[in-house]
Amino acid sequence: MYNSTPTEKNPDTVCPMETESIKKHEKSSAFKSALAVKAALTERILSELMDNQTEIPPHLKEAMEYMILDGGKRIRGALAMWACEAVSGKLNRDAEIVAAAVEMVHTYSLIHDDLPAMDDDDMRRGKPSCHKKFDEATAILAGDGLLTLAFELLSIEIENSDTAVRMIRTLSEAAGPSGMIAGQVADMHGPHVNGSRANLEYIHMNKTAEMFAASAAMGAIAGHADSRQLSAMIEYGMKIGMGFQIADDLLDVSGSSDQLGKTAGKDAEQGKLTYPALVGEEKSREIFEKLTCEAVCALQIFNSNAGPLRQLAMELLNRTK
């Protein structure tokens, strides 16, 4: 059974890697170019796959394409492809399909998250949210369509049926009612600013980190990873996923709506439980740096093929949007 829970979940654990090297890391234009290449490839694959969906009603397809195409950083898709390359030394078609599938599931979650019944946000990826561009019913159905299409594509496009089943199970567990949806529920209805560190970690682990771990795991599976390699990828994905959400919390405090592509300051306005609200910005940053160190350490069993994954972990520390 796929298990996305890392063996060590305490973000305060000190990794043997020197944290000073993380703090001094400078943004790499080469990495930005590499990420742009993977984002463009993911975009092309998504476009091709959507073009093949000739049975979807036109209005629904328009809403789905409005959200899934021409937008987003495609970090989860790139993560899946880089995980495959780290394990096998090359990219394959299975990993490309995985990249498209995880981006579909991620985009579905954003569409639903923006709805008035959820976070009620009018902006996403620098443009009107799906329910503002169309209407609430269409947005709900567009999200449903992307979610189910992701699993349909995995069942059809992955060549080996046993591999397809492993990937479907991995993604469904990460995105389902005990994973991402559980995190959303806790985020909406659990204790907010007066909550505990345990509650906060539960929300971040399920709402965000599970999908990062699933992306890394599915990419590794596409590359025919052994059990040790798969465990390392899951650990890496969980750590950068937790860090990614801390960065989101920090950016919601310090970023602008134009910078973020969505409404800034929503967390404080809604009284949400976040790292800055619970432990302050400085401590949040310290936790983020430790998670980054631990993520990089999880990749020690891989050779230079995992370089982009190491760079990704450190680049996330410098997120501005």
Let me know: does 95 contact 166? Beta carbons within 8 Å.
no
Reduced to 3 states (helix: H, G, I; strand: E, B; else coil), residue 75 is: helix
Four-point Cα dihedral 237, 67, 164, 97, nearest 10: -80
pLDDT at 23 over 50: no
pLDDT at 162: 97
- Is residue 83 very low, low, confident or very high in pLDDT (cuts 50, 70, 90)? very high
Residue with tokens 């940053």: 285
Is the C-alpha dihedral spanning 282, 288, 291, 293 positive or negative? negative
**Terminal Cα distance for the chain, rounded:** 35
- CB atoms under 10 Å from CB of 102, counted, come to 31
Domains annotated on the chain, with CATH: 19-318 (1.10.600.10)
Over residues 188-246, the pLDDT tens digits come to 876 565 678 888 999 999 999 999 999 999 999 999 999 999 999 999 999 999 999 99
Contact call for residues 233 and 217 (beta carbons, < 8 A): yes
Asked if 130 contacts 62 with a C-beta cutoff of 8 angstroms, the reply is no
In order of 78, 80, 122, the CA distances from 220 in angstroms are: 12, 7, 36
Record the pTM.
0.88
Once rounded to an integer, what is the mean pLDDT over residues 248-255? 78
